Amino acid sequence: MAYDEELAERIRDVLGPRLGEVTEKKMFGGLSFMVGGNLAVAVRGTAGLLARVGVEQMGNWQQPGSVEPAVMGGREMHGWLSVSPEAVADDKSLEQWVNRCLAYAGTLPRK
């Protein structure tokens, strides 16, 4: 399954000069952006983002229908949100999500 190449390119634009600190890896049917070996945010193969925000922040960002707990293999992924394409349709919203994810991933021990 292919992921949204346009969304991936928009993320690269948001990363700008930080692009060198972030590695890309194809996984889970999408394209993941990693910081220090930790997955921060991914373009999902099913559309939208897989956003890593941490368990403590999940409730702050959930919006029924557009930002919900991520589910993989039928199981909810604690600390991860599924962000719909509509929730990142404009550049400002996408930038906010990418920055949230990078900030959280930056707190994790390097792998």
- Which regions of the chain does DSSP assign to beta strands (E)? 22-27, 30-35, 38-43, 49-52, 67-72, 75-83
- In total, how many domains does the chain have? 1
What CATH number is attached to the domain comprising 39?
Answer: 3.30.1460
Strand-pair partners of 27: 30
Q: Find the domain containing 59 and state its range.
A: 5-105
Residue 18 domain-assigned (yes or no): yes
Note the pLDDT tens digit of each residue in 11-67.
999 999 888 889 999 998 899 999 999 999 999 988 899 999 999 999 999 999 999
Residue 60 domain-assigned (yes or no): yes
Q: Which pTM was predicted?
A: 0.93
How remote is the C-alpha of 101 from its chain's centroid?
6
Residue 70 domain-assigned (yes or no): yes
Give the three-class secondary structure for 50. strand
Note the pLDDT tens digit of each residue in 67-91.
999 998 999 999 999 999 999 999 9
Residue 10 domain-assigned (yes or no): yes
Residue 53 domain-assigned (yes or no): yes
Residue 111 domain-assigned (yes or no): no
Alpha carbon distance 38, 23 (integer Å): 10
Structure tokens that stand for 3 in this block: 């992921």
